[in-house]
Structure 1
């Protein structure tokens, strides 16, 4: 199979900023703990390898990508260490998919494993794992988790608003956050609520 064809079929952009964070209910959507899951789509436009040197260069391009996942790096290095055209072809045509699956699943389990992860994020993560496709897991890591995080942040703000005895200033700040952007709500949950006097 041609490398161009391989990389264009199933590789999708991974994590926003190629960094994952644990996403608790009360956390802003701001990366804190990197879990690398970079895809290999950056080689999609490269020439199809024909010689051993070209195969090595194609795999090295994957290794040089920012935030390459642990499994992807392991399998790429093993293909280079074996060094045969057959081993490198197998990695570029097939092996990368299993490695990417492992990296995505690990990243999602890190999120699920945080006891402070909110219900919406947890449900979205479970749905991505249940689907099991690279596309579904990539979507969750890149986009879906942040949509779910905003849902969790919104719920957390309503909880604050519903707390008896909160100040008028805190209530006003919470309402303003609800009327704002996802970034506004994340900031309020992470920092803004503690800045209200």
Structure 2
């Protein structure tokens, strides 16, 4: 081999590990996190759109109002925070309204009226949700 080719081979062999181990680590880190953030934001938008669809079927006014506002604002951080805590509270407000409306029915039984009052006295979002979905059907009378 010619001396220039030998020198080139030695330099290429010496630089190869340095180029292979530094370039992908630098290039791969930023692209992966940006892609992950974008996918998470899209997943949150899809989740809130599904929540909005169910809320429209159930006529849950507070959830509809907040979900529409957040979808229009296009803020991934606010949407994530709402999915974590705000949705639960908005749903609890709609559940409370639904349960109070049940009290206005003059034909409900005394047992159901007592169960409604106990649920409203507790007032936790979980209790309200359980009563709306299941508890009202478990009351005898």
TM-score after normalising by structure 2: 0.72
Q: Hey, what's the Cα distance between the residues in 2 that align with 1:90 and 1:183? A: 40
Q: Which runs of 4+ in 1 moved over 6 A?
A: none
**Aligned equivalent of 1:183:** 126
Q: Which has the larger radius of gyration?
A: 2
Q: Which of 79, 88, 96 is equivalent to 1:154?
A: 96
Matching of residue 126 in structure 1 with residue 68 in structure 2: yes
CA contact (8 A) 1:111 1:117 kept: no
**Aligned equivalent of 2:45:** 105
Query: How many aligned residue pairs are there?
Result: 116
Structure-to-structure mapping, 1:127-146, within 5 angstroms: 127-146=69-88
Unaligned regions of 5+ residues in structure 1, if any?
1-50, 56-84
The structure with the largest helix share of the pair is 2
* Larger RCO (CA under 8 A, 6+ residues apart): 1
Unaligned regions of 5+ residues in structure 2, if any?
1-20
Task: Please tell me the root mean square deviation across aligned C-alpha atoms, in Å.
Answer: 2.1
Structure-to-structure mapping, 1:1-197, within 5 angstroms: 51=21, 86-92=27-33, 94-114=34-54, 115-116=57-58, 118-180=60-122, 181-197=124-140
TM-score after normalising by structure 1: 0.53
Q: Hey, what's the Cα distance between the residues in 2 that align with 1:126 and 1:162? A: 29
